[in-house]
Structure 1
Amino acid sequence: MERSRIAVAGASGLIGSALVRSLTADGHEVVRLVRRAPQGADEVRWDPGRQYVDPAGLAGCDVVVNLAGAGVGDRRWTPEYKRLLRDSRVRGTAALAEAVTALAEPPRVFVNGSAIGFYGETGDRVVDEDAPPGDGFLSGLCVEWERAAAPVREAGVRTVFLRTGLVVARGGGAWARLFPLFRAGLGGRLGDGRQYWSYIALHDEVAAIRHLVDTDTLSGPFNLTAPEPLTNREITAAMSRVLRRPAVFAVPAPALRAALGEMAGDVLGSQRVVPRRLLESGFRFAFPGIDEAIRAAG
């Protein structure tokens, strides 16, 4: 991709910060959306909860990437936190959609975050991008999140949805909690361990986003997951193997429900999601297997 001006919402998060590093290393001009007063020409003021973004800051952007949203696993899902999870995604996306469609020269592509939570519980069933949405809070949230970007697509801007799985990284997400436990020898399976986890290495997540940005023929939803999902039991064994630590502890399902509340359903649920459209587009994973993804995360 030629040197471009790229706006990134959620630039301080796990994926966003890695994406910004990758883009700036290749000479692209990155504009970060911030919730405070901008401190330079590379920052744009926005407030996703209030559905506001300064449209002038998006002028001249070739690409807009929206990765913003409160952390799903950061707190118990109280009614107040569920409202924050929704507003930070749906209202933020709606604000960006309104700003983008108002530009005299809109960007050539709008990339919007989403998640494999879209599919709900899938058990042992393999699902790809053609599968319908599932049930539950996360599924409904993902549906609303993607729907909020509809005005951009209707305005003729190529629109891509990133249905991201569990990102293997030390700096955030589920694995940020798993690595310290396993390094201390306290790791183990969650529940019965038979639930499928659809994971992706952080390196491949960023590479996939850039591939989707650069390929003008691609639009719609893409599952950002490694080619072969594994069970929690298999991933537990891989963590033990790669980190050379025992994994003898197990957290019973009732204990998880007591500790996490409604969010435990996401931890114990099974999602066997595959990246069919991403593979068909020619993307090649650098770290497709769990052992190499764990090693890449360090």
Structure 2
Amino acid sequence: MQILITGSSGLIGSALMHKLSEEHECQGLKRTDSEISQPDWNISTKNINLQGFEADIIIHLAGENIAAKRWSEKQKKEIYDSRIQSTRLLVEHILSLSHRPQLVISASAIGYYGNRGDQTLTEDDAPGEDFVSRISIDWEYETRPLHTAGIRVVNIRSGLVLSQRGGALKKMLLPFKLGLGGRVGTGQQFYSWISIDDVVGAIEHIISTPQLQGPVNLTAPEPVRNITFTKQLAQALNRPAFFPMPAFAARLAFGEMADELLLASTRVLPGKLLNSGYTFKHKTLPQALEAVLHS
């Protein structure tokens, strides 16, 4: 099969390109100003040039890194627009093709659910009301015309992706290796995580499982509280975790982002993956950390 991936240089995209290329013909859809520019796209000018590449599957992962910078109103607009505008452009282009993909997998996030305390959440639960929730709601909404056109669409709601190569874990490693890690806030908030290996495995499972469509949670089956996450990360690194970050300090350092990404509690289960027979490589956090930190 021919697979087109947007955001192919990112954490998930690069892992997918490496794995899927073993059995399929994969191409990354690059920005026009990148060094490799075929196929390419320019969201500002609303132009996509596929250079004759007829994709059977499109995996759409492009979007501004949500935690790259402190959230100013300008940065929030960039985060929102990079997701909504790119998805809208891609959907319009797909609908104009004579050879349409049979499957479109489009990124979303468990931020869809918002801060929900200890409530256990599956794909059937309602969205939250904060900034990240609004992004995810609108992000998924932009893919609806594809479903109406008869294309299978899966919106992958990703949790905290564990990898040494990027994402939140990479940022956490240095302070924890120095023995400066610890819980954030009360530490009672739930973190719903997933190893990068299971992200790739789950997407391969989605590709081969036609009944999967709509939202699919990409999280491991055992979310943990922040205090457990930080203790187990410290143990995996053979370091103490004696330096908690109080909520006020997190807010001083990260502003609004702290409340939505660090202090929010989102206890998400991968209902559709489990019900469709996916077998996780790393069900527990110690298993995942062992694999991620020592691979």
Please tell me whether residue 279 in structure 1 is matched to residue 280 in structure 2. no
Secondary structure, counterpart of 1:6 in structure 2: strand
Instruction: Report the counterpart of residue 4 of structure 2 in structure 1.
Output: 7
Unmatched segments (≥5 aa) in structure 1: none
Greater shift in the superposed pair: 132-141 or 170-179: 170-179
Give the Cα–Cα distance (whole angstroms) in 1 for the partners of residues 178 and 125 of structure 2: 39
User: Cα RMSD (Å) of the superposition?
Assistant: 1.4
Q: Distance in 1 between matches of 2:128 and 2:225?
A: 20
Tell me if structure 2 keeps the 8 A contact 1:198–1:225.
yes
Provide the C-alpha distance between the structure 2 equivalents of 1:49 and 1:242, rounded to a whole number of angstroms. 44
C-alpha distance in 1 between matches for 2:52 and 2:68 = 30
Alignment partner of 1:154 is 2:148: yes
Q: CA deviation at 1:58?
A: 6.6
- Report the Cα distance in structure 2 between the residues aligned to 1:58 and 1:217, rounded to whole angstroms: 29
1:223-275 per-position Cα deviation (integer Å, ceiling 9, x unaligned): 00000110000011101211110110001100110110110112101000100
Q: Residue in 2 aligned with 1:122?
A: 116
2:198 to 189, 204, 207: 204
Letter in 1 for 2:48: V
Q: Name the CA shift for 1:145/1:240 in 2 (closer, same or farther; >3 Å).
A: same
Deviations 1:69-120 (A, max 9, x none): 1111110111111111111111101111011111112011000000000000
The 5-angstrom pairing of residues 1-298 of structure 1 reads 4-24=1-21, 26-36=22-32, 43-54=38-49, 56-57=50-51, 59-266=53-260, 267-298=262-293
Q: Is the 8 A contact 1:49 1:92 kept in 2?
A: no
> So what's the TM-score if we normalise by structure 2?
0.96
* CA positional deviation for 1:57: 3.8
SS in 1 for 2:40: strand
The Cα shift of 1:295 comes to 1.3
Deviation at 1:38, TM superposition (A): 7.2
1:6–1:65: 8 Å Cα contact kept in structure 2? yes
CA deviation string 1:12-36 (max 9, x = no partner): 0000000000011x23111111113
Measure how far apart 1:39 and its partner are: 6.5
Mapped contact 1:11–1:17 kept (Cα < 8 A): yes
In 1, Cα distance between the equivalents of 2:109 and 2:44? Answer: 20
Alignment length (residue pairs): 292
C-alpha distance in 1 between matches for 2:144 and 2:251: 36
Matched AA of 2:18: R
Structure 2: gaps (5+ residues): none
Deviations 1:173-202 (A, max 9, x none): 111111111111111111110000000000
CA contact (8 A) 2:180 2:243 kept: yes
- Cα 1:131–1:177 shift into 2, 3 Å: same
Q: 1:139 to 1:21 in 2, by over 3 A?
A: same
Partners in 2 of 1:153 and 1:59 — Cα distance?
22
Letter in 1 for 2:287: E
Tell me which amino acid in the other structure corresponds to 1:69.
Answer: G
Amino acid of the structure 1 residue aligned with 2:30 = V
Shift of 1:49: 4.6
| TM-score, structure 1 as length reference | 0.95
Distance 1:48 1:111 in 2: 19
| d(CA) in 1 for partners of 2:43, 2:74 | 16
Q: CA distance change for structure 1 residues 127 and 58 in 2, over 3 Å: closer, same or farther? A: farther
The percentage of counterpart residues that share the same residue type is 39
